[in-house]
Structure 1
C-alpha cells in the first residue's frame, strides 16, 4: 500500500471514530432539567441554624423554591441574588403562600396556610398597607411576589453587588438584622438543586411582562363561593401534582402511575385522600359521574372542589373531568385537571369547553371535618414591623376525547 493510500485510510478511520465518539457523547449527555420534570427527592441538605434542611420541605414548599430559582434564571439574575431570594422566602414564610387572618380578603384565595403577622401576605410577606395598591389578588400571587423581589434587587443597581446574599435580602425585606443568614445554607442547597433548570422549558412571557418561572404553584387563585373543608382538601390534594405529566390510564389512590395521571386518575386520587380514604371512585369519567356518592349540583351552584364532567354534543358519556378551582380576578372560571398526552397537570380556563355539556358533582362527606387527612398548620412568619413586600398561563385547552 502506498504512503498516500495509508494516509487516506488513516484519515477515514479517524473521521469514523470521531463521529462514533460524538454520538456516544450525545447519547450519554443528560438533557437539562425542565419544568415538566418531577420534583427531585429531597436529600439530607444542610439544616443550618434552624434545624430545617431540604429534606424537611414538602412538594408545595419545593415548588415555590423552584419558582424562585426559575424566575431568577429567566430574568438573568446572578447566583447571589437568587440565593438571597430563597433565603428571604425561607425566613419570611417557610416557602408558603400565606393568607392573613387580619386581611379577610386574602382568605378568598387558595393558600398554603394562614398567618397573622400585621397585614403581611404571600411568600415574601408583603404588607397590604404598603404594597396593596396592586390589589389583594395580585399580592396573593406567588409569581408576582418573586418578581417583586427581583425588581427591588434591580433597583439597588451596583449597590447590590457589594452586598452578601443575606445583606441583600435584608436591604429588600427590611426585617431584623441578620434574620436571613440563618437560612443561607438552605437557600444555597435549594439553588444547587434547581440551578440547572432549562429556561426554554418555562412558559414564555411577552417582553415587558413578569417572568412566569415554572408556572402556577397551586396557590393564589381566587376561590369562588364558600369553599368547604372537603372542597379545599380536594384542591389541595390535586394541586400538589401540578406540573406532573399526563399519562393515559395513569394515577391511582397512591399517586401517579407510569409517571403521571390522566384526568380521572387525578380526580380519584384527590377525592380519595380528601375523604380520608372513604370515597374510592372508579377510574373512568362516566363511572365517577354516576357514582353513588356523587351529588348532582346545578352549574350555578358550583363551588371549589366540585368535579366537572364534560360531554361532547351528540355523546351520552362524559369524556373528560376536572376539579373546579374557582375564579380569577376577572371572574373567569378555572379548572384544575390533567389535560392530554404531551401536557401536564395544570389550571386552565373553563371556557375552553364552551359548547359542551358540563355536569357538576359534589362528593362532600358529613361532617365536613372528615375531608382533611392532614391539618394545614396555622403559621407565623418571621416578618418585622418594617414594610415588606397566579400568573397562570391561561391558554385555552383543546377538546379532549375519551379518557378512562
Structure 2
C-alpha cells in the first residue's frame, strides 16, 4: 500500500471515531435554558451559579418572577448591575410575589400571590395605586408591566444609573427606607446567575414600541370573573398562578407541582385545598373528587366560576378529566356574550391553560365544594388522572 492509500484508509477509519466523539459531545452538552425549561430542575432550581447552592424557600411562582426580572432586563439591553438592582428590589418589596391589597379593592379581582398591606401598594414592586394608578389597576397587577416599569425608571436616570451600585439604584427608583436593598443583593446575584444564560432568541419577538414580554405572566394578574363567589374566586386565583406549568401525569399535590408539573386532578386538588384554607383535601383521582363528601352536585345550567366540571366519555362509568369553570371571557367591549372557559391541565405535551368549554361534547357533571369547619381526610387510595 502506497503513502496516499494509507492516508485514505486512515481517514476512513478515523471518521467513525470522530463522528462518535461529536455525538457524545452533543449528547453531553447542557441544553439551552428557555422559558419552557422546568423551574424545578437545573439552573433555575439550583439558583447558585457556580456555588451550587439552592435558593431555599423560593417557590416555583417566585422563581418565575425572578426569571422574568432577568429575561426582561436582557431583552431591554440592561446591564448586569441594573438587573441585579431589579431583583433586589423585587425581593425586598414583595418577596417575588404579585401582591393584591385590600386597600385597593379592585386589585382583588386579579389573580395574585397573596395580600400586602403597605398603604395602597400592589404588585411585585409595590407600586402605589395613588401615584401610578393612572394606567389602570389591571396594568398595575400585571407583573410584566411592573418589571418593565423598573427598567424604564432606570433608563430615565441615564448615565447616573450606571454610576450607582445595585442597592443605590433600587433605592433611587423605589424610594424606600435607606439601605433597604443591600440585604438582598446576594440572593439577587445568585438568581441572576441562574437565569443569565437563558436563550433570549427562543422567545417571540416583541413588537416595535411594545414592552418586553419576558416569559409571560404565568397567569398572575389575570382578571378573575366578577360573578365568582369568594370561594370560587379563590379557587380560580390559586389555579391561575400555575398557567403555563407543564402537564405531568400524576403531578401536583397540596404544595404545588410535583415532578415539574400538574395533571388535571392534581391542579384541582391544589386549588380546592388552598381556597378552603386546607380544610378540603381531595384525593388525586377525578371520580373520587367528584364523589367526595364535600362535593355538592349542581345542575349544569347553574354552573358558576370556581366550580369543578368532570367529564365522562359516552358509556363510561368514571370521569376521566376535570377542570375549573372559569366563567365567560370577553374579547372586548363589543363582545356581549363572551366565551365560557375551562381552566385545566389538559394532557402530556401541553401546559395548564384556559380552553373554551365548548371543546367538550360529552357528559359534564358540576360539583361545588362546601367548606367544612374541620379538614376532611383523604381516605381514597389509588389512581390519578
Same fold (TM > 0.5): yes
Secondary structure of the residue aligned to 1:70 is: helix
Where relative contact order (Cα < 8 A, 6+ residues apart) is larger, the structure is: 1
Q: Distance in 2 between matches of 1:252 and 1:182?
A: 33
Which residue of the partner structure matches residue 363 of structure 1? 369
Segment of structure 1 superposing worse, 124-133 or 271-280:
271-280
Segment of structure 1 superposing worse, 321-330 or 357-366:
321-330
Q: Distance in 1 between matches of 2:320 and 2:207?
A: 34
Instruction: Please list, as runs of the form range in 1=range in 2, the aligned pairs for 1:199-238 lying within 5 A after superposition.
Output: 199-200=200-201, 202=203, 205-223=206-224, 224-229=226-231, 231=232, 234-235=235-236, 238=239
Q: 1:252–1:269: 8 Å Cα contact kept in structure 2?
A: yes
Residues 1:179 and 1:361: Cα distance change in structure 2 (over 3 Å): same
- Which runs of no fewer than 5 residues in structure 2 stay unpaired? 333-337, 377-383
1:138-188 C-alpha deviation (Å, 9 max, x unpaired)? 111111111222233333444433332223323332334433223211111
Secondary structure of the residue aligned to 1:90 is: helix
Which residue of the partner structure matches residue 391 of structure 1? none
How does the TM-score come out when normalised to structure 1?
0.74
Residues 1:73 and 1:356: Cα distance change in structure 2 (over 3 Å): farther
2:351 aligned to 303, 325, 344, which one? 344
Residues 1:16 and 1:257: Cα distance change in structure 2 (over 3 Å): same
Residues 1:319 and 1:211: Cα distance change in structure 2 (over 3 Å): farther
Residues 1:131 and 1:302: Cα distance change in structure 2 (over 3 Å): farther
CA shift at 1:356, angstroms? 7.1
Secondary structure of the residue aligned to 1:322 is: strand
Which residue of the partner structure matches residue 59 of structure 2? 58
CA shift at 1:36, angstroms? 2.9
Which residue of the partner structure matches residue 280 of structure 1? 282
**Superposition CA RMSD, Å:** 3.7
Instruction: Please list, as runs of the form range in 1=range in 2, the aligned pairs for 1:244-263 lying within 5 A after superposition.
Output: 244-248=245-249, 250-251=251-252, 259-263=260-264
Which residue of the partner structure matches residue 335 of structure 2? none
Residues 1:207 and 1:227: Cα distance change in structure 2 (over 3 Å): farther
Instruction: Please list, as runs of the form range in 1=range in 2, the aligned pairs for 1:2-401 lying within 5 A after superposition.
Output: 2-40=2-40, 54-200=55-201, 202=203, 205-223=206-224, 224-229=226-231, 231=232, 234-235=235-236, 238-239=239-240, 241-248=242-249, 250-251=251-252, 259-272=260-273, 276=278, 278-281=280-283, 283-284=285-286, 288-289=289-290, 291-297=292-298, 302-310=303-311, 320-325=321-326, 335-346=342-353, 348=354, 350=356, 353=359, 359-367=365-373
Residues 1:349 and 1:164: Cα distance change in structure 2 (over 3 Å): farther
Residues 1:349 and 1:104: Cα distance change in structure 2 (over 3 Å): same
Q: Distance in 2 between matches of 1:20 and 1:228?
A: 61
Q: Distance in 2 between matches of 1:301 and 1:81?
A: 51
CA shift at 1:116, angstroms? 2.7
Residues 1:19 and 1:85: Cα distance change in structure 2 (over 3 Å): same
How does the TM-score come out when normalised to structure 2?
0.78
CA shift at 1:97, angstroms? 1.2
- Which runs of no fewer than 5 residues in structure 1 stay unpaired? 47-52, 372-402
Q: Distance in 2 between matches of 1:66 and 1:242?
A: 16
Q: 2:250–2:263: 8 Å Cα contact kept in structure 1?
A: yes
Which residue of the partner structure matches residue 381 of structure 2? none
Q: 2:281–2:375: 8 Å Cα contact kept in structure 1?
A: no
